[in-house]
Amino acid sequence: MSWTDERVELLKKMWGEGQSASQIAKELGGVTRNAVIGKVHRLGLSNRAASTTTAPKAEPKAKAAPKAEPKPTPKESVAAKPVEATEQRPSNVTPLRRQIIPAGQPLPPQPSANEISPEALARVNEIEKKAKKLTLLELTEKTCKWPVGDPATDDFWFCGLPSQSGKPYCEAHVGVAFQPMNSRRDRRR
């Protein structure tokens, strides 16, 4: 389908009349609603024609005296009261903002929902002292496949202790890798 001069003129006329892109596509035939929208934007027709009858502008009203706020009852919480635009924020409260970090810059440390408890970390450290320190080629179905160290260095190895039945890791590493949902949820709060 090509946009002939006649089709473009019909598009402009129907768009100016306030027809929807779907209605115009149906009338033209052979084009989709998205094709009509794209052509409208390329032609610079994105603003609809203003209606011929305009409502008279209302005269600005004089400012009314500010209403006295009702005193909160003991049941109402002061914290639940919405902050009005005229109220000042305490200086010790910083507004929450998303920090924009330029490309190539390291990300600031974030609290992780996957942090390991100190007890589990101590247990893992003890287990790793007893680990067999296997290479990738030495792993079997019955050995713990927990990686230790940086894979890009020569100090990289796998735990190698006997794994739990149906799990890829030994008992200590299963406790770190597979945590109950409620404990992970509690740490995020």
Domain, as residue range, for 147: 118-188
Residue 157 domain-assigned (yes or no): yes
Domain count for the chain: 2
Residue 69 domain-assigned (yes or no): no
- pLDDT given for residue 10 in this prediction: 92
Residue 177 domain-assigned (yes or no): yes
Residue 56 domain-assigned (yes or no): no
Residue 112 domain-assigned (yes or no): no
Alpha carbon distance 39, 16 (integer Å):
14
- pLDDT given for residue 58 in this prediction: 53
Is the confidence at residue 38, as pLDDT, over 80?
yes
Residue 52 domain-assigned (yes or no): no
Reduced DSSP (H G I as helix, E B as strand, rest coil) percent helix, strand, coil of the chain, to 5: 35, 5, 65
Who's near 161: CB < 8 A, 6+ residues apart? Answer: 127, 130, 131, 132, 143, 144, 170
Residue 75 domain-assigned (yes or no): no
- pLDDT given for residue 84 in this prediction: 53
Q: How confident is the model at residue 23 (pLDDT cuts 50, 70, 90)?
A: very high
User: Is the pLDDT higher at 92 or at 164?
Assistant: 164
Residue 180 domain-assigned (yes or no): yes
